[in-house]
């Protein structure tokens, strides 16, 4: 038998729905059957809410200029919660690594997965690969605070192994929401896993690099992951070519070197 909410709780629920609607969120799922009773769903004239497995967001978040993007990102993070949607929560991850940077960024970098340092600090790209990414960003004439940085998945795989396909499929819808909210002018996929997941293709990096792709209305470029560059510094020159292509698209100029 469905639980009947009192008028005060029902009003609070309606206010919450209106808040989500203002952010462009209209479709919802629930974590447990008792969270939102069917009777209330009917009275509020919203679709019946059903259990999903695995639990993934169905919200289609649009990000017009009027939307409070920081608030929308906080809502996505709240929706993720202490995620248990895939096996990674049982395999040693310490915390969710959501994303960091400017919510209004024109440029977004997307990597593969958090590593040990990221899992410890809760922020993407803070280890050695992160330091190299920071240098790459500076070489483009930007600061880390100017861009937005995230990963395909938000939990560290054990031993930094490559994320499994089902883990990417379970986690990436939250990334899609982040991209919609931020609405960058360009995305740089760092490494093969990020590129193949976003583009839904199976091709070598040699074929993926050097081109612009249309990703849901946003231009996307592919380059090497900073962790790969640490292992093979010879590819830094090729990576710089990729970044210069992005800079040209965004109208960026590399900072002039100061002579000593």
CATH of residue 122's domain is: 3.40.470.10
Window from 63-67, 79-83, 156-160 with minimum mean pLDDT: 63-67
Mean pLDDT for all residues in the chain: 83
Model pLDDT, residue 13: 60
Count of domains for the chain:
1
209 has pLDDT over 80:
yes
pLDDT at position 41, please?
Answer: 36
pLDDT for residue 11: 60
Return the higher-pLDDT residue of 230 and 51.
230
> Which own/partner contact pairs does 168-175 have at CB distance under 8 Å and 24+ positions apart?
168/193, 168/197, 170/54, 170/56, 170/85, 170/86, 171/83, 171/85, 171/86, 172/197, 173/56, 173/57, 174/57, 174/76, 174/79, 174/80, 175/110, 175/150, 175/151
The answer to whether residue 242 is domain-embedded is yes
Compute the CA torsion angle 216, 138, 239, 231 (nearest 10 deg).
-120
- Contact at 8 Å (CB) between 114 and 151? yes
Confidence (pLDDT) at 121:
97
Q: In a 3-state reduction of DSSP, which class is residue 65?
A: coil
Q: Which domain holds residue 144?
A: 91-250
């Amino acid at each position: 038998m469905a639980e009947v909410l009192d008028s005060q709780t029902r009003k609070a629920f309606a206010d919450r729905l209106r808040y989500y609607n203002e952010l462009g969120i209209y479709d919802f799922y629930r974590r447990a059957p008792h969270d939102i009773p069917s009777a209330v769903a009917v009275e509020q004239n919203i679709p019946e809410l059903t259990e999903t497995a695995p639990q993934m967001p169905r919200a289609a978040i649009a990000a017009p200029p009027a939307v409070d993007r920081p608030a929308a990102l906080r809502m996505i993070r709240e929706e993720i919660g202490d995620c248990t949607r895939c096996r990674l929560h049982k395999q040693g991850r310490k915390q969710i690594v959501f994303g960091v940077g400017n919510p209004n960024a024109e440029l977004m970098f997307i990597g593969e997965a958090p590593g040990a340092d990221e899992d410890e600090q809760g922020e993407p790209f803070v280890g050695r690969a992160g330091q190299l990414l920071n240098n790459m960003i500076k070489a483009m004439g930007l600061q880390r605070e100017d861009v937005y940085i995230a990963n395909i998945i938000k939990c560290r795989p054990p031993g930094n192994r490559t994320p499994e396909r089902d883990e990417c499929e379970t986690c990436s819808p939250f990334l899609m929401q982040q991209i919609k909210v931020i609405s960058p002018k360009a995305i740089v996929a760092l490494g093969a896993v990020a590129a193949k997941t976003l583009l839904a293709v199976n091709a070598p990096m040699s074929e993926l690099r050097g081109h612009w792709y249309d990703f849901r209305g946003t231009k996307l470029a592919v380059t090497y992951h900073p962790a790969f560059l640490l292992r093979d510094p010879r590819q830094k020159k090729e990576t710089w070519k990729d970044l210069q292509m992005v800079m040209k698209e965004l109208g960026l100029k590399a900072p002039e070197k100061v002579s000593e």
